[in-house]
Amino acid sequence: MKIKPLKSYKTPAYPTIQESAQDARLLQNLPRRWGRCNPLATLLGTGLMIQFASSARGDEAMPDAVANIQALPPKEGEQDAAQKIARAIPATRVAPILQEALANDGRGSFGCVAVSAPVFLSENEALDLIQAELEKVGLKLRDIVDVDGLQIPDPAEPRFNFSRDKEEVKKSRVKKLVEGSYAFDLGTEDKSVVVKFLQKEDFDLWKDSPHGYVSSVESFNFSWLASEVSEAFKQRTDGKPIIIGIFFEPSTYPEKKEREKRPEQGKVDLEKIREHVRADYETIRQETKERAKEKLRQQVQHFVKYLKEEGVI
C-alpha cells in the first residue's frame, strides 16, 4: 500500500468513546446493523484509524513508504464503557402515536337505531396502505411477525368476569396481562421493525368486559386501546432490540351534508327515490372511507418521521 501524507484534514465530527459513555443518546443514529456487532468492534476500528493516521504522517521525503498498520487493543476501562453503551439502547422502543389522532379519532358507537355510524376500513385496506407507505421509505415488510417476551392478554382469562361490581363495570381497563408471544401484522425480516393495526377484534381481545349482559349498542375507543397496548409493550426489557409501530382504526364519521331527495309534485316514483338514496349512501361511504385512509396515512407518516430520527431509515 502506497501512502501519501495529508497536508490538512478536518476534525472528525463523530463522538469519542468517553463522550458516548456520558450520553448514550449520541448513539441513537447508529446504523441498525452495528447493533448486531460486538461492541469492541467500534473500539478496534478506532484503533485502526488512529494507527493508520499516525503512519500516514511520515516524512514527506518518503512518499512511497509502506505503512505498518496494527490493531490497537482497547485501553483499560474502555471495554466496560463500550458494553455500557450497548446496553443503553433499550430492547423495546414503541414509537410515539400521533397526538392529533389520539385526541380526535377512534371513538364512537354503533348499533340499535344509530343513523350515522362510523365507516371502518377493512383489514386489507388498512394493511395495504401501511405497507405501501413504509415501502416508500425503503422498509421491506412481510406478513405476520412473532415477537416473544411481550405483555399480552392472558388467554386463560374468561371473556366476561361476573365477579366485578357495578362501579368497576364503568371503568375502561385491559384484561390481565402475561408474558408471551405476539403476532404483529407486518415486520422486517430481521424483526427489527414491526407494526400493528388495531381494529375491532383487537378491542375485544384486550378490553376487559366485566359484565354479562348483551346490548344492541356497542361502544369502542381505539385511541384508549392504542395507548394501553403501547404501555404494555414497553415493559419488554430483554431480547433483541425492536421498534414497534402502533396504528389504530380512525373510525371516521360521514360529514354532515344535506342529501335529501325532494319528491316532484304529482305522482311520486318510490323506486326512483330508493335508487337515489342507495347511490347517495354509496357516495357518502366512499368519501368517508377516503378521509379515513388519509387519517391512517398521517399516523404512518408520523411513524416514518420517528424512524428517521432514530436513524433506522
Phi–psi pair at 194, nearest 5 degrees: -135, 150
**What integer pLDDT is reported at residue 157 of this predicted model?**
73
Does 9 map to a domain?
A: no
Q: Note whether 132 and 42 are same-domain residues.
A: no
Q: Note whether 83 and 190 are same-domain residues.
A: no
Which residue's C-alpha cell is 414497553?
234
Single out the residue in 88, 120, 139 at which a domain terminates.
88
Residues 129-142 have pLDDT tens digits of 999 999 999 999 99
Single out the residue in 57, 88, 119 at which a domain terminates.
88
DSSP bridge pairs for 187: 142, 194
Where is 129: in which H helix or E strand? helix 123-135
Does 2 map to a domain?
A: no
Q: Note whether 116 and 217 are same-domain residues.
A: yes
Does 103 map to a domain?
A: yes
Q: Of 128, 234, 245, which is closest to residue 193 (Cα–Cα)? A: 245
Q: Note whether 170 and 23 are same-domain residues.
A: no
Q: Note whether 261 and 286 are same-domain residues.
A: yes
Residue span of the structural domain in which 40 resides: 17-88
pTM: 0.66
Burial of 165 from C-beta contacts in 10 A (0-12 / 13-18 / 19+): exposed
Four-CA torsion 164, 202, 284, 264, nearest 10 degrees: -40
Single out the residue in 69, 88, 107 at which a domain terminates.
88
Q: Note whether 78 and 107 are same-domain residues.
A: no
Q: Note whether 21 and 120 are same-domain residues.
A: no
Q: Note whether 197 and 150 are same-domain residues.
A: yes
**What integer pLDDT is reported at residue 60 of this predicted model?**
47
Does 7 map to a domain?
A: no
Burial of 38 from C-beta contacts in 10 A (0-12 / 13-18 / 19+): exposed
**What integer pLDDT is reported at residue 305 of this predicted model?**
97
Q: Note whether 74 and 99 are same-domain residues.
A: no
Q: Which portions of the chain are predicted below pLDDT 50?
A: 39-40, 43-44, 46, 48-63, 65, 67, 169, 258-259, 261
Q: Note whether 222 and 301 are same-domain residues.
A: yes
Axis crossing angle, helix 40-56 with helix 78-88, rounded to the nearest 10: 130
Give how many domains the chain has, as a whole number. Answer: 2
Report the distance separating Cα 253 and Cα 107, nearest Å: 10
Q: Note whether 232 and 271 are same-domain residues.
A: yes
